Amino acid sequence: MYTSVDTLIVGIPTIRPHKLSVTTMQVQTLVLVKITTEDGLVGWGEATTIGGLNYAAESPESVKANIEHYFAPLLLQDKSDNVAQTLKSIHKAINGNRFAKCAVQTALLDIQAQRLGVPLSELLGGRLRNSLPVLWTLASGDTDKDIAEAQKMIAAKRHNTFKLKIGANPWQQDVEHVIAIKQALGSDISVRVDVNRAWSEMDCIKGIQALQDGGIDLVEQPCAIENTDALRRLTERFDVAIMADEALTGPFSAYRVAKQYGAHVFAVKIAQSGGLLEAKEVATVAKLAGIDLYGGTMLEGPIGSIASAHTFATFDNLAFGTELFGPLLLTEDILQEPLQYRDFELHLPTGPGLGVVVDENKLDALRQQ
């Protein structure tokens, strides 16, 4: 059934330094998986993380090695065209490795959707929307630069909602930076923050109160991943939306947070969830618990971003939009035709599978491994 499984590491510079509490990115390293079938179909997947091991437990190098040494042999000896059985075999044989599993699952679903002649979203229940609102992250660390960048995006009708990455500085300094940007952009523009788990609970109490008073709409993962009790207490204490991100590592963690109503919003990420199907399960848990949804990103390139878009387009509730701006942060595109961003939204393709065509000549030029 599957004749080859190729894994590529591709490094693409960012348009500017992208400052987070855990690292400052100047190059994004994409891990791409290409699976080919005996009848000539090709599926693509992506397993991209942030800053090597700064963000998650899988690095680009470990993802590549594990796919080559563990996933590929399973796929190459699999003679079935039953994707569900193939995915079940992978889960039985391989523990953890959520990012690698997501990349392989994406490629397999891409192939299956192409075989059926339908967009990948149809395999996930069917899309409820053909485009998704996309915010932009302001992460230069410089207040004036961030204000100018936001105003440029608004004027170009590319983004009208903004998220600020904070947590690398003392909370008072970060809050001052955020409030200055909010005041410059005005009340009609939504501004959110992502602390990337950098604050103690005491800093959260003081910082979130100041952000709430300053008109900020959402605070993402303010405290440590493991401290879901603190996340719950902050959710109970504040009116501003508190969003769980790194605390969500798939359906079971989503259930643990949801059963104590430990967040107002879930940031759903396909790689962090372990796959598109698992991301759908996270969304279902949130729906049953009355928790709103936000379509998150690992700052993937176009393959991971469009796979996410196919998934998020099937969600009933996407109250806080998405952040699928990853391809726009990169200086190079790896598709023959770029993804379509206009009027503040990402427009989904209608072709079979992922609906995109990879430019393999560009990949060869950018390939690191």
**Looking at the chain, which residues constitute the CATH 3.20.20.120 domain(s)?**
126-347
Q: DSSP assignment, residue 100?
A: H
Catalytic residues: 165
pTM: 0.95
Crossing angle of helices 276-289 and 98-116, rounded to 10°: 100
Considering only CA atoms, give the Rg of the chain: 20
Look at residue 310 in the predicted model and tell me its pLDDT: 98
Enumerate residue ranges in the chain where pLDDT < 70: 21-22, 369
Q: Which helix (H) or strand (E) holds 25?
A: strand 24-37
**Looking at the chain, which residues constitute the CATH 3.30.390.10 domain(s)?**
2-122+360-366
Look at residue 250 in the predicted model and tell me its pLDDT: 97
CATH architecture of the domain covering 2-122+360-366: 2-Layer Sandwich (3.30)
Nearest to 270 by CA among 307, 299, 243: 307
Look at residue 154 in the predicted model and tell me its pLDDT: 95
Look at residue 56 in the predicted model and tell me its pLDDT: 80
Please give the structure tokens belonging to residue 355.
Answer: 């609906």
Gap between the Cα atoms of 285 and 305, Å rounded: 22
Q: Is the dihedral of CA 349, 246, 17, 241 positive or negative?
A: positive
CATH 3.30.420.40 fits 126-347, yes or no: no
End-to-end CA distance of the chain: 26
What ranges in 94-142 are assigned the alpha helix state H? 98-116
Gap between the Cα atoms of 295 and 319, Å rounded: 9
Neighbours of 52 (CB within 10 A): 14
pLDDT digits 0-9 by tens, 271-286: 999 999 999 999 999 9
Look at residue 299 in the predicted model and tell me its pLDDT: 93
pLDDT digits 0-9 by tens, 223-235: 998 999 999 999 9
Look at residue 21 in the predicted model and tell me its pLDDT: 66
